[in-house]
Structure formats: C-alpha cells, structure tokens
Structure 1
Amino acid sequence: MAADTIVARATPPGRGGVAIVRLSGPATAAITAQIAGAVPPARQSVLRTFRDSADEVIDSGLLLFFAAPNSFTGEDVAEFQCHGSPVVVDMLLSRATRLGARLAEPGEFSQRAFLNDRLDLAQAEAIADLIDATSTQAARAAHRMLQGDFSSRIHSLVKELIELRVFIEAALDFPDEEVDFLADKRVIQQLDTLEISIADLLDSAQQGQLLRDGIRAVISGPANVGKSTLLNALVGQQRAIVTDIAGTTRDLLHESLLIDGLPVEIIDTAGLRVSDDPVEQAGIALAEQAIGDADLLLVVSEEGASSASLAPVQDLVHQLP
C-alpha cells in the first residue's frame, strides 16, 4: 500500500454535466469526511454537500466510497460526482490537496492497481486501449482483455511449460528408471500443443494491434492505371487528382475510413515505373517505403496487363519480410 493519498479528476477536462474527482490512499476516509461531512457506507451512492475549509458550499453531488481492498486501486477510494464545471473541479482538488492529498501523476491510479495486484500489465494496457478505442470491435477486444481473457491464456501457457519442464527434469535426474520419460510421446505432443497455442496467441495479439491501430492499406501499381480513382471511390469524394497523364500522384495521400467497425488508413501512392523526373523519383521512393509498411496491399493494374508492367510491384513484395 502507498503511504500517501492521491487525487485527480477522473473525467476528461472541460465543461460537462458531470465530473468525477477521485481519491485513493490511506487518508481517503479522513479527507472525505472533511469535505462531505461523513464517509458513506462502502459501495453505496449518497447525495452530499461538498464544503471548503470555511464551510462554504463548493457543490452538491453524489459520493461513493470503496473500502480497501475492494476497490480499483486496492486502497480506500472515494469518488466525488460533481457538476462538470472546471471551477468546481478545481475547488475540490484544491480542498483535497490542502487536507493532505497530492495531485496524481498520469496513470498513477492504474499503477497502484497493478502494484496492489488488482490488475496485471495486460489489463492495465487494456484500460488505455478501451479509452482510445475508435471502433466497436476495438472496444470489445479491449474489454475482453480487461476482463482477463488474454492474461488467463498466458497463465495457462506458463503452467503447461512448467509441467513440461518438471517432466523433462525428472527424466534427466533419474536416467536409470525403467520408464524412459523422454521416449514417451507425451513430450513431443505437449511441445506441438504449446507451439500451436503460442502461434494462436501471437495471432490474437496481432489482431488486437490491428483493431487498436487500424489497418494500413496501400494502393500500389504501375503509373496511370486508376489508383487515385480507386481512392476517390473508396472515400466517396474527390480526394486525389485524376488525369490521363502518367505520374500525376507524387506524394502519399492518406485517408481514414471505418469499414465494418474497423479503422482503415488508405494510402494512395505514386505509380511504380522508371522515371528521370527527380520529383517523381522521390514519390516512388515514398511509395516503396509505404508498401514495406503496409498491412494490406491493393495492387491495381490494367486488364490484361503484362507481367513486365507488374514486375516493380512483384519485386517489392518478394523483398518483404
């Protein structure tokens, strides 16, 4: 348990209907009593008047108290739900700090939850992912991780690895036993199962990253085949200049879309071809870099295009890790 008590606004800054000021630490109950007159029963919402040191009213609102260890941080926690005026919030923060609390550092409530075994690192990351979620799928994935889904899979893998290690060490420590532990197919079977489980876990982590950060889709191909036309069609507006002149697109054009709840960044690139124009060469270099960083590559070509015209794209794809 931490020796000091921290306080911070738990809702975004600015004006609003409601704001929440949160306290956590050993002096939470005492500070709460000074501001609200009495500490309410744990986990019960009560209407209270919040007062300053001169007994003047700061605001009236709901007050909740969570006794340790049954709170988010594992410490005594109080939440003051006041009107969402920055002035009211500042008065509550000032009152709490004068009574002995200090302003919390960014992420310090989650840090205390982690240090008090209320969260593991995966769940702490899930809080940030849930707050920053830009789609329904990302929010649901973050919530599953917050509930411990990812952590339980990790713990299960660790348990299986420990059991396998014990099995192998027994075979090495007792080589004269009649039963040859290492000749047993169980070791190979367990290793195969673990390999599959780890691969599934890595796939889940990659999917989670795509849900959080979005898919980077790059439109590529030879010059003047309709890449910019495709970008305009996907975003539903004239985002890129379209002409019959090859090499119109020089820089990377970025557009963000939400497709079936998944954030997608679409990037239009310069056509890949041999050019003497230094500006176009710079654009082609940017296109090649974007192709290397892409999660999804959309190659556009003319109907019946020759393999020679697609060779620059194919060569780049073959060089990807």
Structure 2
Amino acid sequence: MLARTTDPIVAIATASGRGAVGIVRVSGARLAPLISVICGRSLKPREASYLPFRDAGGEAIDHGLAIHFPAPHSYTGEDVLELQAHGGPVVLQLLLARCLEAAVESDASTGQPRLPGLRVAQPGEFSQRAFLNGKIDLAQAEAIADLIDASTEAAARSAGRSLSGAFSQEIHTLRDALIHLRMLVEATLDFPEEEIDFLQKADAEGQLATLQAQLGAVQQRARQGALLREGIKVVIAGQPNAGKSSLLNALAGAELAIVSPIPGTTRDVVSQTIQIQGVPLHVVDTAGLRESTDLVEQIGVARAWGQIEGADAVLFLHDLTRSAGTDYAQADADILRLLSEKLPAGVPVLDLWSKQDAAPSTGPVTGMSLSAKTGFGIEALRQRLLEVAGWQAVPEGVYLARARHVQALSRVGEHLILAAEHLAARAQSLDLLAEELRLAQNALNEITGEFGADDLLGVIFSRFCIGK
C-alpha cells in the first residue's frame, strides 16, 4: 500500500552502525523554518555549510555539513535537507529525534508548527517520491536498490546502466514504435471509406517485424541482466560418498562442507553462492540419496529431494571408482528415474563422474569426468554451468533487470505474435489487431511505471532500505 505522499518525511539515510559520516535526510515542502532552527540560519541552495546542529536548548548536538536542495532540483523533487554528521548511531538518533521535535514546535514568526505532519519515512519512500515526482521511472528506481544489493562487479555496473536510463531508453524506443503502429491501425479503422490502405502504404508488416526483432534483442539483454541479479540454484545430487561435498568445496574454493570416506556424512543441506564471470550460482550440497533406517538420515534425504525439486539445474554425481558395480549402477538408475519424475520439465540434469584421479583409465560413456582433489574438469564444469544458466557475456550491453521485467517483455512478445496474425488477415481482424497492440503497450508501460497498480508500487518500494 502506498504511503501518504504529501507528508514531509525524515530518516537516517546511511547504514546502521558506526562510521565516519552519517546522514539524516528530510524531504517535504517549505523546509525553511525547520532549517533555521536546527542549523541556526538559512542555507544557500546546493551549497554545503559547516555548522553546529542545535538541540532545543540551543546546544550543539554535533558539528557537520548541512545542504539544502530546493524543489524541484533534488533527489525526490521536493525540498530536501541533508544533515551530514559523525556516523555514530546515538548522534544520528539524536538528530532524527530533534528534527521530529522541532517540526511540531511553534515557529516564533508565525505561531504555527514549523513542519506539521513530519514523520519517519517508510522503506523506499524517498525513492518512491522521486518516481512519483518524475525524477526517475520505475525501472530506474528498482535499479537503485539493485545497485545497493549488487554482489558482483558485473551486477553493480549493470545496475548502474539501468539507473542511468539505458534500460528505460530501450523500453521507450519500443513503446514509440508501437504507438506509431497503433496510430496507423486506428487510422485505418477510423477512415475505412477513404479506400486508402494506410497499413500497406506505411509497410505496417515491415514495421511490426522490425519491432519484434528489436524486442528480441531487448529480451536477450534483459534475461542476461536478470541472471546477473538472481543467479540460478544448482543442486548437487547422488549416492552417499559420491564426492558431492568435495565438489561443493572445489567449486567454492573453500572447505565449506565436511568431507570424509564414511557414507552419509552429509545429513543436512549445505549451500554457498559462488560467482562465475559475475554470475551468482547458488550451489547446494545435499545428503546422499539412498534408503536408510536411520531417522536423521531419512530427514536429510527428504530435505535433499526438496532442494532438488526447486533446482534450476541438477548435478547428478556418479563415482567412477564404483561405476562397474551392478548394485551401484542400479541405484544410480533408480535415482535417475526419480529425478525424471520429480523435476519440472526443462530443468537440466548434468551427469558428472567424480574421482577421476582414482580411476584415470575409466571414462564415462556420457557426461563430464572430474576430480575435486586435483581440480581436473572443475573449470570446464564452471563454463558448462554458465551455458546451462543461459549466460552470454555482453559486458557493455547488459543492464540489470528483474523477473517482472522479463515476464512483461515476454507478454509483449506474445501480443505481437497475435498482432502479426491479425495483420495478415487484414480488414477482418483489424479490431483485434488494435487490441493486441494496446495490450502490448500496456505491458511495456508496466516496466517503467507509466501504467501500473498502486499495490505493485507499494511492493517494489517497501523492499528498499530506510532512508532511500
């Protein structure tokens, strides 16, 4: 649910904990009375002033920099005051409390409260106001949170491109082409008696084909951006003592999971996020899959299957040193059958053969052989995981995107396919053609927020940090 957008708001805008500098930010209309009492004087616009921040008795809470950004030339589009003090939590809380206290005090010149209605900001409310006041669009607002949360350099650079408007510009280009095509269709519908085929003369089919090609390029970059942000979940599965924990350690480059020759050592889920060329992969080690009378191991196996069912990719690990055994091969076949039953369609299962160093003369018929001990095949596996994830490195063209962006673009593509079918039918389906183009434009508008429900905005901005 959207917050009240007319209230003045205040919040600590820096992370919790101690630091060299901390910021208290105020946004609203007519901040001059509040500025005067806290800073002791008025401030020149967009000029940092070093001065004491005063409490109710006129004593200094701290000395720091105060900056006033008059509307509309501010982050939120409203009047903004930033108080940059020493970054101790107590100091910042005192400044926050002083702002709230001073707001309700009567101003000596007017007898009215200095800033009536001032309240602590909700998460993401500063960025929400920047969006509502036209300073940024919705995709750029989301990029702010993504830039803060970026876990890799590639993700940070891609979020920066989205924040600068690269992704939004692509969407606007598609939208403008779509609006032009809609105009041609509406002209044909509005003036049928003129006997002028607007669509044929304007090469509407060619325009639609070009639009679909442009959409395909944007979709590809958006999928890459979503991958940079979300990553994929990779689950390592197999029989006990197949080398699953060793593989996790090898991929992570650290001793995360306990490794021993005793079957059933891993009884719970162990996960680690690794990065391959900036793409986050959430790798999960699971208990060995087998029948057991041990209640704890049964729970571990059940949890393993739960992880497998939610995987984006499964690494099915086989033990080369036991591959010739009939019982072992049968157990692997049983696991493969269960994988085919439990996994959703399209989830890839990679056959990996471990312990290559202990059985160098034996090679699998299919799949990859590797050794967690020597590192043989580990780099090849990393590259294969990137392929499975669908990563195609385009370092200067990828912008960070979210799942909702990818889904919206997919809906645009579906509407354009139907539009092409109606366009081929000419006059018999022009009404349906116009409707599909309208729906495609609505889906595009959802990305930048030019059309969207209030509850969607509330969900997006509520996930921001306080003071942003």
Give the TM-score, by structure 1 length: 0.84
Q: Distance in 2 between matches of 1:106 and 1:238?
A: 35
Match of 1:142 among 147, 152, 159: 159
Letter in 2 for 1:35: I
Q: 2:203 corresponds to which residue? A: 186
Structure 1, 90-99 or 291-300: larger mean CA deviation:
291-300
Q: 1:171 corresponds to which residue? A: 188
Whether contact under 8 Å (1:25, 1:76) holds in the other structure is yes
Q: Which has the higher contact order (CA 8 A, sep 6+)?
A: 2
* SS class of match (1:267): strand
Change beyond 3 A, Cα 1:104–1:315: closer
Letter in 2 for 1:219: I
Q: 1:97 corresponds to which residue? A: 100
Deviation for aligned residue 1:77 = 0.8
Q: Distance in 2 between matches of 1:204 and 1:290?
A: 29
Q: 1:118 corresponds to which residue? A: 135
Letter in 1 for 2:43: P
Q: 2:418 corresponds to which residue? A: none
What CA RMSD, in Å, does the superposition of the two structures yield over aligned residues? 3.1
Change beyond 3 A, Cα 1:238–1:128: closer
Instruction: State yes or no: 1:319 paired with 2:345.
Output: yes
Change beyond 3 A, Cα 1:49–1:282: closer
Q: Distance in 2 between matches of 1:315 and 1:4?
A: 55
Any residues of structure 2 matched to 1:1-321 within 5 Å, and which? Answer: 3-100=6-103, 101-175=118-192, 177=194, 179-183=196-200, 186-221=203-238, 224-235=241-252, 236-237=254-255, 239-243=257-261, 245=263, 249-271=266-288, 275=291, 283=300, 286-302=303-319, 309=333, 311-312=336-337, 313=339, 319-320=345-346
Q: Distance in 2 between matches of 1:55 and 1:165?
A: 64
Q: Distance in 2 between matches of 1:242 and 1:176?
A: 83
Whether contact under 8 Å (1:64, 1:78) holds in the other structure is yes
Deviation for aligned residue 1:224 = 4.7
Deviation for aligned residue 1:216 = 1.6
Aligned residues: 319
Deviation for aligned residue 1:2 = 5.5
Deviation for aligned residue 1:16 = 1.8
Change beyond 3 A, Cα 1:156–1:293: farther
Give the TM-score, by structure 2 length: 0.60
Q: Which blocks of at least 5 consecutive residues in structure 2 are unaligned?
A: 104-117, 348-468
Q: Deviations over 1:178-219 (max 9, x none)?
A: 553445693333333333333443443433333223332222
* SS class of match (1:99): helix
* SS class of match (2:203): helix
Structure 1, 24-33 or 227-236: larger mean CA deviation:
227-236
Q: Deviations over 1:75-114 (max 9, x none)?
A: 1111111111223222222221122233222222112212
Letter in 2 for 1:117: G
User: Percent identity among equivalent residues?
Assistant: 46
Change beyond 3 A, Cα 1:292–1:194: farther
Q: Distance in 2 between matches of 1:180 and 1:272?
A: 67
Deviation for aligned residue 1:60 = 1.1
* SS class of match (2:99): helix
Q: Deviations over 1:159-185 (max 9, x none)?
A: 111111112222333445555344569
Structure 1, 297-306 or 32-41: larger mean CA deviation:
297-306
Deviation for aligned residue 1:68 = 0.7
Q: Distance in 1 between matches of 2:130 and 2:44?
A: 22
Q: Deviations over 1:111-153 (max 9, x none)?
A: 2212211122112211111122222122112221111122222
* SS class of match (1:301): strand
Q: Distance in 1 between matches of 2:256 and 2:135?
A: 51
Letter in 1 for 2:123: P
Q: Distance in 2 between matches of 1:217 and 1:20?
A: 40
Letter in 2 for 1:258: Q
Change beyond 3 A, Cα 1:160–1:47: same
Structure 1, 154-163 or 282-291: larger mean CA deviation:
282-291
Q: Distance in 1 between matches of 2:215 and 2:119?
A: 43
Q: Distance in 1 between matches of 2:80 and 2:272?
A: 43
Structure 1, 195-204 or 125-134: larger mean CA deviation:
195-204
